[in-house]
A and B are shown apart, each in its own frame.
Chain A
Protein backbone atom coordinates (compact mmCIF):
# COMPACT_ATOMS: atom_id res chain seq x y z
CA UNK A 1 0.00 0.00 0.00
CA UNK A 2 1.52 3.25 -1.06
CA UNK A 3 0.26 6.32 0.67
CA UNK A 4 0.69 9.70 -0.95
CA UNK A 5 0.78 12.42 1.68
CA UNK A 6 0.41 15.14 -0.96
CA UNK A 7 -2.94 13.76 -2.12
CA UNK A 8 -4.04 13.55 1.48
CA UNK A 9 -3.00 17.18 1.97
CA UNK A 10 -4.98 18.18 -1.11
CA UNK A 11 -7.99 16.30 0.24
CA UNK A 12 -7.63 18.11 3.58
CA UNK A 13 -7.59 21.46 1.82
CA UNK A 14 -10.69 20.63 -0.19
CA UNK A 15 -12.45 19.40 2.94
CA UNK A 16 -11.62 22.67 4.72
CA UNK A 17 -12.97 24.63 1.76
CA UNK A 18 -16.19 22.61 1.89
CA UNK A 19 -16.43 23.22 5.64
CA UNK A 20 -16.24 26.94 4.95
CA UNK A 21 -19.67 26.73 3.27
CA UNK A 22 -21.68 26.70 6.54
CA UNK A 23 -19.74 29.74 7.74
CA UNK A 24 -20.45 31.45 4.41
CA UNK A 25 -24.12 30.59 4.80
CA UNK A 26 -24.05 32.22 8.24
CA UNK A 27 -22.23 35.18 6.71
CA UNK A 28 -24.94 35.63 4.10
CA UNK A 29 -28.02 35.05 6.24
CA UNK A 30 -26.85 35.78 9.81
CA UNK A 31 -29.55 37.77 11.57
CA UNK A 32 -27.19 40.14 13.36
CA UNK A 33 -23.97 41.92 12.45
CA UNK A 34 -21.99 40.02 15.07
CA UNK A 35 -23.01 36.69 13.54
CA UNK A 36 -21.35 37.86 10.36
CA UNK A 37 -18.21 38.92 12.22
CA UNK A 38 -18.05 35.50 13.89
CA UNK A 39 -18.28 33.75 10.55
CA UNK A 40 -15.52 36.01 9.18
CA UNK A 41 -13.42 34.97 12.18
CA UNK A 42 -14.06 31.30 11.49
CA UNK A 43 -13.23 31.64 7.80
CA UNK A 44 -10.03 33.47 8.75
CA UNK A 45 -8.91 30.70 11.09
CA UNK A 46 -9.56 28.11 8.39
CA UNK A 47 -7.67 30.26 5.87
CA UNK A 48 -4.60 30.29 8.11
CA UNK A 49 -4.70 26.48 8.15
CA UNK A 50 -5.24 26.37 4.38
CA UNK A 51 -2.16 28.57 3.87
CA UNK A 52 -0.06 25.97 5.67
CA UNK A 53 -1.63 23.30 3.44
CA UNK A 54 -0.75 25.29 0.30
CA UNK A 55 2.80 25.61 1.57
CA UNK A 56 3.01 21.87 2.13
CA UNK A 57 1.73 21.21 -1.40
CA UNK A 58 4.22 23.59 -2.98
CA UNK A 59 7.08 22.32 -0.82
CA UNK A 60 7.67 25.77 0.62
CA UNK A 61 6.27 25.41 4.15
CA UNK A 62 8.93 27.67 5.66
CA UNK A 63 7.62 30.57 3.57
CA UNK A 64 3.89 29.96 3.91
CA UNK A 65 4.06 29.47 7.68
CA UNK A 66 4.94 33.14 7.99
CA UNK A 67 1.88 34.07 5.94
CA UNK A 68 -0.28 31.84 8.12
CA UNK A 69 1.07 33.47 11.27
CA UNK A 70 0.38 36.95 9.91
CA UNK A 71 -3.08 35.90 8.84
CA UNK A 72 -3.88 34.53 12.30
CA UNK A 73 -2.63 37.75 13.91
CA UNK A 74 -4.65 39.98 11.59
CA UNK A 75 -7.71 37.79 12.05
CA UNK A 76 -7.55 38.19 15.82
CA UNK A 77 -6.94 41.92 15.68
CA UNK A 78 -9.72 42.35 13.14
CA UNK A 79 -12.33 40.57 15.23
CA UNK A 80 -11.23 42.46 18.35
CA UNK A 81 -11.54 45.76 16.50
CA UNK A 82 -15.01 44.83 15.24
CA UNK A 83 -16.06 43.78 18.73
CA UNK A 84 -14.77 47.07 20.18
CA UNK A 85 -16.57 49.04 17.48
CA UNK A 86 -19.90 47.41 18.23
CA UNK A 87 -19.28 47.68 21.97
CA UNK A 88 -19.31 51.46 21.76
CA UNK A 89 -23.04 51.58 21.09
CA UNK A 90 -25.01 52.30 24.27
CA UNK A 91 -26.75 49.31 25.88
CA UNK A 92 -30.05 48.82 24.14
CA UNK A 93 -31.44 46.47 26.76
CA UNK A 94 -34.97 47.34 27.77
CA UNK A 95 -35.28 49.75 24.87
CA UNK A 96 -35.86 47.26 22.11
CA UNK A 97 -39.39 47.39 20.86
CA UNK A 98 -40.38 50.44 22.87
CA UNK A 99 -41.73 53.10 20.60
CA UNK A 100 -42.00 56.65 21.78
Chain B
Protein backbone atom coordinates (compact mmCIF):
# COMPACT_ATOMS: atom_id res chain seq x y z
CA UNK B 1 0.00 0.00 0.00
CA UNK B 2 2.74 2.44 0.95
CA UNK B 3 4.82 1.61 -2.05
CA UNK B 4 1.78 1.92 -4.25
CA UNK B 5 1.10 5.36 -2.83
CA UNK B 6 4.60 6.67 -3.40
CA UNK B 7 4.57 5.24 -6.90
CA UNK B 8 1.33 6.91 -7.96
CA UNK B 9 1.86 10.21 -6.17
CA UNK B 10 3.73 12.05 -9.00
CA UNK B 11 1.05 11.00 -11.46
CA UNK B 12 -1.62 12.69 -9.36
CA UNK B 13 0.43 15.87 -8.99
CA UNK B 14 0.88 16.04 -12.73
CA UNK B 15 -2.83 15.34 -13.23
CA UNK B 16 -3.82 18.23 -10.95
CA UNK B 17 -1.31 20.47 -12.69
CA UNK B 18 -2.63 19.47 -16.09
CA UNK B 19 -6.25 20.13 -15.14
CA UNK B 20 -5.36 23.54 -13.69
CA UNK B 21 -3.34 24.42 -16.77
CA UNK B 22 -6.20 23.40 -19.07
CA UNK B 23 -8.56 25.63 -17.09
CA UNK B 24 -6.02 28.48 -17.29
CA UNK B 25 -5.66 28.22 -21.06
CA UNK B 26 -9.42 28.08 -21.63
CA UNK B 27 -10.18 31.02 -19.37
CA UNK B 28 -7.28 33.25 -20.37
CA UNK B 29 -7.32 32.65 -24.12
CA UNK B 30 -3.81 34.02 -24.73
CA UNK B 31 -1.30 31.58 -26.14
CA UNK B 32 1.84 33.77 -26.14
CA UNK B 33 4.88 32.93 -24.03
CA UNK B 34 4.32 35.61 -21.38
CA UNK B 35 0.77 34.57 -20.42
CA UNK B 36 1.60 30.85 -20.62
CA UNK B 37 4.57 31.26 -18.30
CA UNK B 38 2.39 33.19 -15.85
CA UNK B 39 -0.03 30.27 -16.01
CA UNK B 40 2.70 27.71 -15.40
CA UNK B 41 3.93 29.64 -12.35
CA UNK B 42 0.47 30.00 -10.78
CA UNK B 43 -0.56 26.43 -11.54
CA UNK B 44 2.69 25.08 -10.09
CA UNK B 45 2.15 27.16 -6.95
CA UNK B 46 -1.45 25.98 -6.53
CA UNK B 47 -0.41 22.37 -7.17
CA UNK B 48 2.35 22.70 -4.59
CA UNK B 49 0.06 23.97 -1.83
CA UNK B 50 -3.11 21.99 -2.56
CA UNK B 51 -2.36 18.96 -4.73
CA UNK B 52 -3.70 16.58 -2.10
CA UNK B 53 -7.19 18.11 -2.07
CA UNK B 54 -8.52 17.01 -5.43
CA UNK B 55 -8.36 13.23 -5.42
CA UNK B 56 -9.26 11.22 -2.38
CA UNK B 57 -8.32 7.70 -3.40
CA UNK B 58 -4.84 7.60 -4.91
CA UNK B 59 -4.29 3.87 -5.24
CA UNK B 60 -5.65 3.70 -8.81
CA UNK B 61 -3.20 3.99 -11.65
CA UNK B 62 -3.58 6.09 -14.81
CA UNK B 63 -5.21 3.30 -16.83
CA UNK B 64 -7.91 2.74 -14.21
CA UNK B 65 -8.58 6.47 -14.06
CA UNK B 66 -8.98 6.73 -17.83
CA UNK B 67 -11.41 3.79 -17.76
CA UNK B 68 -13.39 5.53 -15.01
CA UNK B 69 -13.57 8.75 -17.04
CA UNK B 70 -15.04 6.88 -20.02
CA UNK B 71 -17.53 5.02 -17.82
CA UNK B 72 -18.54 8.32 -16.19
CA UNK B 73 -19.14 9.79 -19.64
CA UNK B 74 -21.45 6.89 -20.41
CA UNK B 75 -23.21 7.37 -17.10
CA UNK B 76 -23.71 11.08 -17.73
CA UNK B 77 -25.43 10.34 -21.06
CA UNK B 78 -27.93 8.20 -19.14
CA UNK B 79 -28.21 10.94 -16.52
CA UNK B 80 -29.03 13.60 -19.11
CA UNK B 81 -31.83 11.38 -20.39
CA UNK B 82 -33.15 11.08 -16.82
CA UNK B 83 -32.92 14.87 -16.34
CA UNK B 84 -35.03 15.46 -19.44
CA UNK B 85 -37.60 12.98 -18.12
CA UNK B 86 -37.53 14.79 -14.75
CA UNK B 87 -38.20 18.14 -16.36
CA UNK B 88 -41.13 16.84 -18.38
CA UNK B 89 -42.51 15.31 -15.18
CA UNK B 90 -42.04 18.62 -13.38
CA UNK B 91 -43.75 20.53 -16.17
CA UNK B 92 -46.75 18.22 -15.91
CA UNK B 93 -46.87 18.49 -12.12
CA UNK B 94 -46.65 22.26 -12.06
CA UNK B 95 -49.62 22.62 -14.37
CA UNK B 96 -51.70 20.01 -12.52
CA UNK B 97 -50.92 21.66 -9.21
CA UNK B 98 -50.93 20.75 -5.58
CA UNK B 99 -53.51 17.97 -5.68
CA UNK B 100 -51.25 15.66 -7.70
CA UNK B 101 -48.62 15.60 -4.97
CA UNK B 102 -48.11 12.99 -2.27
CA UNK B 103 -44.98 14.33 -0.59
CA UNK B 104 -43.10 11.99 1.70
CA UNK B 105 -39.63 11.54 3.12
CA UNK B 106 -38.05 8.12 2.61
CA UNK B 107 -34.91 6.55 3.96
CA UNK B 108 -32.37 5.07 1.59
CA UNK B 109 -29.29 3.08 2.62
CA UNK B 110 -26.40 3.17 0.19
CA UNK B 111 -23.34 0.96 0.07
CA UNK B 112 -21.01 3.35 -1.74
CA UNK B 113 -17.77 4.08 0.03
CA UNK B 114 -16.03 7.24 -1.14
CA UNK B 115 -17.35 10.75 -0.69
CA UNK B 116 -17.24 11.48 -4.41
CA UNK B 117 -19.52 8.55 -5.20
CA UNK B 118 -21.97 9.73 -2.53
CA UNK B 119 -21.87 13.24 -3.95
CA UNK B 120 -22.60 11.85 -7.40
CA UNK B 121 -25.45 9.72 -6.09
CA UNK B 122 -26.98 12.64 -4.18
CA UNK B 123 -26.78 14.92 -7.21
CA UNK B 124 -28.22 12.24 -9.48
CA UNK B 125 -31.10 11.63 -7.08
CA UNK B 126 -31.79 15.36 -7.05
CA UNK B 127 -31.84 15.52 -10.83
CA UNK B 128 -34.01 12.48 -11.52
CA UNK B 129 -37.82 12.60 -11.57
CA UNK B 130 -39.61 13.38 -8.36
CA UNK B 131 -36.88 12.97 -5.78
CA UNK B 132 -34.57 15.39 -3.95
CA UNK B 133 -31.89 14.46 -1.44
CA UNK B 134 -32.56 16.22 1.84
CA UNK B 135 -29.94 15.04 4.23
CA UNK B 136 -27.02 12.62 4.30
CA UNK B 137 -25.95 11.05 7.56
CA UNK B 138 -23.14 8.57 7.02
CA UNK B 139 -24.59 5.94 4.69
CA UNK B 140 -28.23 6.97 5.14
CA UNK B 141 -29.83 9.26 2.60
CA UNK B 142 -33.08 11.03 3.47
CA UNK B 143 -34.95 11.68 0.27
CA UNK B 144 -37.97 13.89 -0.26
CA UNK B 145 -40.14 12.19 -2.86
CA UNK B 146 -42.96 14.05 -4.50
CA UNK B 147 -45.24 11.06 -5.12
CA UNK B 148 -45.60 7.36 -4.39
CA UNK B 149 -44.37 6.48 -7.87
CA UNK B 150 -41.21 8.53 -7.40
CA UNK B 151 -40.57 6.92 -4.01
CA UNK B 152 -40.89 3.46 -5.51
CA UNK B 153 -38.49 4.47 -8.27
CA UNK B 154 -35.60 4.51 -5.78
CA UNK B 155 -34.76 0.85 -6.28
CA UNK B 156 -30.98 1.14 -6.32
CA UNK B 157 -30.53 1.03 -10.09
CA UNK B 158 -28.68 4.34 -10.04
CA UNK B 159 -26.42 3.16 -7.23
CA UNK B 160 -25.56 0.05 -9.23
CA UNK B 161 -24.65 2.19 -12.22
CA UNK B 162 -22.42 4.45 -10.12
CA UNK B 163 -20.74 1.48 -8.44
CA UNK B 164 -20.09 -0.01 -11.88
CA UNK B 165 -18.37 3.21 -12.95
CA UNK B 166 -15.85 3.00 -10.12
CA UNK B 167 -15.10 -0.69 -9.92
CA UNK B 168 -11.58 -1.43 -11.06
Do A's and B's CB atoms come within 8 Å in the complex? yes
B-binding residues in A (CB < 8 A): 62, 66, 69
**Total interface residues in chain B, CB < 8 Å:** 2
CB distance from B133 to the nearest CB of A (A): 14
Instruction: Please provide the chain B residues from 5 to 33 with a CB less than 8 Å away from any CB of chain A in the complex.
Output: 27, 29
Q: Taking CB as reference atom, which chain A residue is nearest B29?
A: A62
Q: Which residues of chain A are within 8 angstroms of B29 by Cβ–Cβ distance?
A: 62
Q: How far is the CB of B135 from chain A (nearest CB, A)?
A: 11
Q: What chain A residues lie within 8 Å of B27 (beta carbons)?
A: 66, 69
Least CB distance from A91 to B in Å reads 11
How many Å from the CB of B126 to the closest CB on chain A?
Answer: 14
Question: Which residue on B lies nearest to A66, using beta carbons?
Answer: B27
Between A and B, 3 residue pairs with Cβ closer than 8 Å are: A62-B29, A66-B27, A69-B27
In whole angstroms, how far apart are the Cα atoms of A37 and B29 in the complex?
35
Annotate B22-59 by CB proximity to A: 1 below 8 A, 0 otherwise: 00000101000000000000000000000000000000
Docked CA distance A62–B29 (Å): 10
Measured between alpha carbons, how far is A62 from B27 in the docked complex, in Å? 10
Chain B positions within 8 Å of A66 at CB level: 27
Closest CB of chain A to B114's CB: distance in Å?
A: 22
CA gap between A69 and B29 in the complex, in Å: 15
Task: Report the minimal beta-carbon distance from A19 to chain B, rounded to whole angstroms.
Answer: 12
B49–chain A nearest beta-carbon distance, Å: 20
Instruction: For A62, list chain B residues within 8 Å (CB).
Output: 29
Q: What's the nearest-Cβ distance from chain A to residue B58, in Å? A: 27
Which residue on B lies nearest to A62, using beta carbons? B29
Q: Give, as a whole number of angstroms, the nearest-CB distance from A21 to chain B.
A: 15
Tell me, rounded to whole Å, the shortest Cβ–Cβ distance linking B87 to chain A.
Answer: 14
CB distance from A80 to the nearest CB of B (A): 14
State how many angstroms separate the Cβ of A58 from the closest Cβ of chain B: 18
Interface pairs A-B: 3 shortest CB-CB: A66-B27, A62-B29, A69-B27
Residues in B whose Cβ lies below 8 Å from that of A69: 27
In the complex, what's the smallest C-beta–C-beta distance from B22 to chain A, in angstroms? Answer: 15
Please, how many angstroms separate the alpha-carbon atoms of A66 and B29 in the complex? 11
Report the minimal beta-carbon distance from B90 to chain A, rounded to whole angstroms: 14
For residue B123, give the distance in angstroms from its CB to the closest CB of chain A: 13
Q: Give B137 Cβ to nearest chain A Cβ, in Å.
A: 13
Q: What is the chain B residue whose CB lies nearest that of A65?
A: B27
In Å, the complex CA distance between A66 and B26 comes to: 11
